[in-house]
Structure 1
Amino acid sequence: MDYLSPSDVPEPPPRKPKADNDNGPVDPWARYTHPPLPSGLLPPVIEEYARVQAEMMGVDAGGLAAAALAVCAAAIPDSIQLKVKRHDDWMESPRIWVALVGSPSTKKSPIITNATAPLKKIDRELYRAYVEAKAEYDALEKEPKKTASAPKHVRLRLEDTTIEAAQEVLKDSPNGVLCLQDELSGWFGSMDKYSGNRGAAKDRAFWLQSFNGGNYTVNRIGRGDVWIDNLSVSMLGGIQPEPMRKVAGDAVDDGLLQRLFPIVLGSASIGKDEPTPPVVAMYAALVDRLHGLSKPLAGSLVEVPLRFDKGAQAIRNELEEKHHAMAAGWEAMNRKLAAHIGKYDGLFARLCAIWHCIESTGNRPASEVKEDTARRVAAFLHDFLFPHAIAFYADVLGLSERHDALLATAGWILAHQPPSVTVRSVRRGDTVMRAMDNYEAQAVLDRLDAFGWLEPVPTARRDSMQWTVRPAVHTLFAARAGEEAERRRKVREIIADAARLKQAA
């Protein structure tokens, strides 16, 4: 099977005659590669930690780097924000959701365990401090206790939690937490498991808000209201491809899935039994320092948000135009991927804030994010994260919605070589094609048009619309056409043999 890089996939063509020098029909059977971890783009400590520790563990370095970035995002106080544009109030905090996608053999859980160890250590220290403060508070006499404030249990992590438990934690943790989900399919499934459709909608709304941050109020009958000053959750979890397909197929398409940035893990190998490398301690010290950061200062008195310098702002503005074009281009092929790309403006700003804080010194980052930082983040986003997103949405979920029907229709076109097709003709194809209704068949043909396979023929009535099959399809996929014809011949033989056996019986 051929493997394509994302740059080989043309944007869906406009509905007009295609030029002779276009990119040609897209291969819907192609697999999409995901690149290894690039060099020189990540903050040096993160890159060294990912490469050295990945070799020690026998895991994918890109997965370990992404997990470490999620940990750093959760460690940075949510009060540190980046002003995205110069002349409006759009702010982004260093908050990201990472999904490690792979089979159990890719060692997702060991990656998560290793990357989160420093954050868990800080969380344990926070718990011990809370227990001591609570004991002192409980020991107060009645009168002093009236004027004393009860200690708050500040947390840095959640694990496999319900939203009710998360609300209790987050009301005392305004700087955000890291939600750890060893298996994200369980997290998605729990939204429907406990409370039915209405409850599931509330759960999803809660998590959607937690990605954005901000105030949140919980109204509880008989138990009083809960005010959450800042509902902020970073996410790190693993998921296997097959459960993910079911999640994507069953879930409400409200954008929750698209907020995760997926990392498709490469194969694992045998690790090394050697002393812990020094960079692991350097990474732990980094997470500890990030947790203690304060807002940047203007001059020496006023705390201010982060801002892009002039060069970084220009890069951000260019990317906004690029992301808009990318999302519009992918809309005809894969709406889920297009919606994911729609998050890239915010993700770029969040990653810039993370890079900037990691590479800062002292307990306050400088107030300006430099052009070099923005350039490296842009390259990381488009040369690493975006190819992983394509590999995830194309190979794991299917390059297009109802990709099974699209492949069946494409195979039928190659085997039968009709000069043109209609909704009615494709609905007379194989079992998968016959199961489509008119709307689904129309959508499949529209996507084959976007893939460069078909050319719409203008008609007076939409219900009689035709598509001409582009001649290049049969030229480029001649070998596939032979395979498809042979496959269909064998299927017919099997059916005929079964019929003869039934008659003989």
Structure 2
Amino acid sequence: MSDLFQSHGQPDSFPVDLLPPVVRQYVVEGAESRAAAPSIVALPVLVTLGACVGTTHKIAAKQGWIVPAMLWGAVVARSGSVKSVGYDLAHELLKHAEDQANREFENAKREYDLAEQEYRKAHAQWLKSKEEIAPPVPPEPPTGDRLVVDDQTVESLAPLLVENPKGLFLLSDELRGFFDGMGAYASGGRAGKDEARWLTLFDGRPLSVDRKTNRERIYAPMAGVSVAGTIQPGTLAKAVSGGQVESGLLARLLLVMPEPRPKRWTDAEMHDATKLAMQRLVDRLRSLEHKALNGSLESNVLRLDNEARDRFKFFVNAHGLETFKQHDSLAAAYSKLEGYALRFALIHHLAVWASGDQLSPPRSIGLESIEAGIELSRWFAAEAERVYEKIGVVAEPVLQPADQHLDRLEEWLRSKGGAATERDISRGPRRYRSGHHVEDDCKALIQAGRAKWDISRRTRHIVLAGDSDSSAENETIRVEVSPSQTDNTEGLSTTANEDGRDTISLSERNKRKVSPSPPNTASFQERIRVTI
């Protein structure tokens, strides 16, 4: 992998290592072959994966908190900065299936036209006939299997959403029309009903549209649209000045804005094996279906396993504090990124499944996927801060990166029971996996009075303040004593602990050596178990 993807700390150091292996390879080779920043490719590809899943599967953090896989994303870059690379690569993944679906629709349309002509003839003869016979039945018009669309008004998308309950994908090389369309039915350029309807489509909820032309009511019980495209910084700044910040539209957009770089030649090309593996993954995601329940379609809801749920719980609490400290506009983005962590986890889980040969996706989502979702959410949070500042939505970030790193290390430690070794940390949050920052952040956490070193074990642990059973000033040994074992602890000074077990003070321990009875002379029930 080239140095292009190794520059940690730079504005565009997109965490490609969090992506499933097949997706990661496609993003890396795609960016290298176009001499583009990895985020320009990663965001449209992630949105494409979510669009392929559509409304067929959702993820539940708990009862009542269920979100779909659909994402909204925009690559923010000026013209001439290869900003369309990700759009092109995403479109390539869907082109074959879209072409095939279009051919099938055209064939069905021709058959329908012929059947319609026959029906009209039969209907005319029936009108002339004096016999009491049932009228001919008109043919059903064909419906097209659609995913990619380019029309950006909800009224035009509504009939397609009825025909395609899995959802649609607005993949546009220029998203200006997406923002302009928000005011299509309002006066004075203000956002109209379309904006509120688009916010509904973000969550895959039912959609109801009353057409003005023929007073027709269109109802889609399951409607969702994924959005991906590019937009220039100045255009985005103008687009969100009309109320889209306050409405929450901007908060729902995942943004990437790589630093400008001149276009340059590269001999790198994407390998055919990489294309084939990714195409197979996308095709498997597109093959996912809803479940049928009482004659209607329902989403398959996947839940977090216990370990993943505990991890997400600690993230929610820490992320809530970060959100509370932000400016209003960034707080809105942070609040949506909490749910995005779940969406990323669902996409990661299903992409891993689609990379293999298992017949159907596992019903529960594990720790690896939720960790990837959390880390991706946090990367996009940092990127949102940077983009918001550049386009003038906020003056400057409220939270300093150093403070965030300590808060997140503390959060991770709490999810692990309040203590961990430095080696554990280097295998945990992405920031520490290179081996960097572990010691420095641990020292900073200790200096802030939020943790301390525990060197009473073979390997030293960092222990959160208030989470340790022992301290340097008042260390105790817990001893569980059975009624028949009082002779082994005679003369030791003990005190009652909060959990009802007795403890021996450190000063007494130094005077007497306490050890378990030898295995060959006492039963398991008669041993004294000592825990430091």
Length-normalised TM-score, structure 1? 0.66
Q: Give the whole-Å Cα distance in 2 for the aligned partners of 1:227 and 1:241.
A: 36
Matched, 1:201 2:192: yes
Q: Give the whole-Å Cα distance in 1 for the aligned partners of 2:387 and 2:365.
A: 31
* AA partner of residue 61 (structure 2): V
Distance 1:145 1:50, change over 3 A: farther
Q: Name which structure has the greater RCO, CA cutoff 8 Å, separation 6+.
A: 1
Is the partner of 1:400 in helix, strand or coil?
coil
Q: Do 1:120 and 1:157's aligned partners in 2 also have CA atoms closer than 8 Å?
A: no
Q: Which residue of 1 aligns with 2:18?
A: 41
TM-superposed deviation, 1:71: 0.6
Q: Which residue of 2 aligns with 1:395?
A: 390
Q: Which residue of 1 aligns with 2:503?
A: none
Q: Give the whole-Å Cα distance in 2 for the aligned partners of 1:170 and 1:313.
A: 33
Q: Give the whole-Å Cα distance in 2 for the aligned partners of 1:77 and 1:190.
A: 23
* AA partner of residue 378 (structure 1): I
Within the candidate set 56, 78, 82, 1:79 is matched to 56
The 4+ residue runs of structure 1 with deviation greater than 6 A are none
TM-superposed deviation, 1:96: 0.4
* Alignment deviations for residues 43-89 of structure 1 (CA, whole Å, 9 cap, x no partner): 1111111111111111111220111001111111412111221xx23
Is the partner of 1:171 in helix, strand or coil?
helix
Is the partner of 2:55 in helix, strand or coil?
coil
Within the candidate set 326, 333, 347, 1:354 is matched to 347
Within the candidate set 281, 285, 292, 2:276 is matched to 281
Distance 1:160 1:219, change over 3 A: closer
Q: Quick check: which has more Rg, 1 or 2?
A: 2
Distance 1:295 1:229, change over 3 A: closer
TM-superposed deviation, 1:378: 1.4
Within the candidate set 209, 220, 226, 2:218 is matched to 226
Q: Give the whole-Å Cα distance in 1 for the aligned partners of 2:35 and 2:300.
A: 43
* AA partner of residue 369 (structure 1): I
Q: Do 2:329 and 2:394's aligned partners in 1 also have CA atoms closer than 8 Å?
A: no
Mapping 1:121-270, distance limit 5 Å: 121-140=96-115, 141-142=118-119, 146=137, 149-192=140-183, 195-196=186-187, 200-221=191-212, 222-252=214-244, 253-268=246-261, 269-270=263-264
Q: Give the whole-Å Cα distance in 2 for the aligned partners of 1:386 and 1:47.
A: 21
TM-superposed deviation, 1:391: 1.0
Q: Give the whole-Å Cα distance in 1 for the aligned partners of 2:137 and 2:266.
A: 58
Q: Do 2:52 and 2:286's aligned partners in 1 also have CA atoms closer than 8 Å?
A: yes
TM-superposed deviation, 1:291: 0.3
Matched, 1:343 2:339: no
Q: Which residue of 2 aligns with 1:28?
A: none
TM-superposed deviation, 1:223: 4.0
Matched, 1:89 2:64: yes
TM-superposed deviation, 1:139: 3.0
Q: Give the whole-Å Cα distance in 1 for the aligned partners of 2:55 and 2:99.
A: 20
Q: Give the whole-Å Cα distance in 1 for the aligned partners of 2:52 and 2:397.
A: 40
TM-superposed deviation, 1:149: 3.9
Unaligned runs of 5+ in 2: 1-8, 123-134, 293-297, 399-532
The count of residues paired between Structure 1 and Structure 2 equals 362
Q: Do 2:179 and 2:239's aligned partners in 1 also have CA atoms closer than 8 Å?
A: yes
Matched, 1:308 2:304: yes
TM-superposed deviation, 1:34: 2.1
TM-superposed deviation, 1:380: 2.3
* AA partner of residue 358 (structure 1): A
Q: Which residue of 1 aligns with 2:76?
A: 101
Matched, 1:69 2:17: no
Is the partner of 1:227 in helix, strand or coil?
strand
Moved more, 264-273 or 88-97: 264-273
Q: Give the whole-Å Cα distance in 1 for the aligned partners of 2:394 and 2:46.
A: 28
Q: Give the whole-Å Cα distance in 1 for the aligned partners of 2:164 and 2:382.
A: 35
Q: Which residue of 1 aligns with 2:29?
A: 52
Q: Give the whole-Å Cα distance in 1 for the aligned partners of 2:260 and 2:382.
A: 17
Is the partner of 1:104 in helix, strand or coil?
coil
Q: Give the whole-Å Cα distance in 1 for the aligned partners of 2:207 and 2:393.
A: 36
Distance 1:194 1:77, change over 3 A: closer
- Higher helix proportion: 1
Q: Do 2:150 and 2:171's aligned partners in 1 also have CA atoms closer than 8 Å?
A: yes
Q: Which residue of 1 aligns with 2:318?
A: 322
Distance 1:33 1:243, change over 3 A: farther
Q: Give the whole-Å Cα distance in 2 for the aligned partners of 1:183 and 1:322.
A: 36
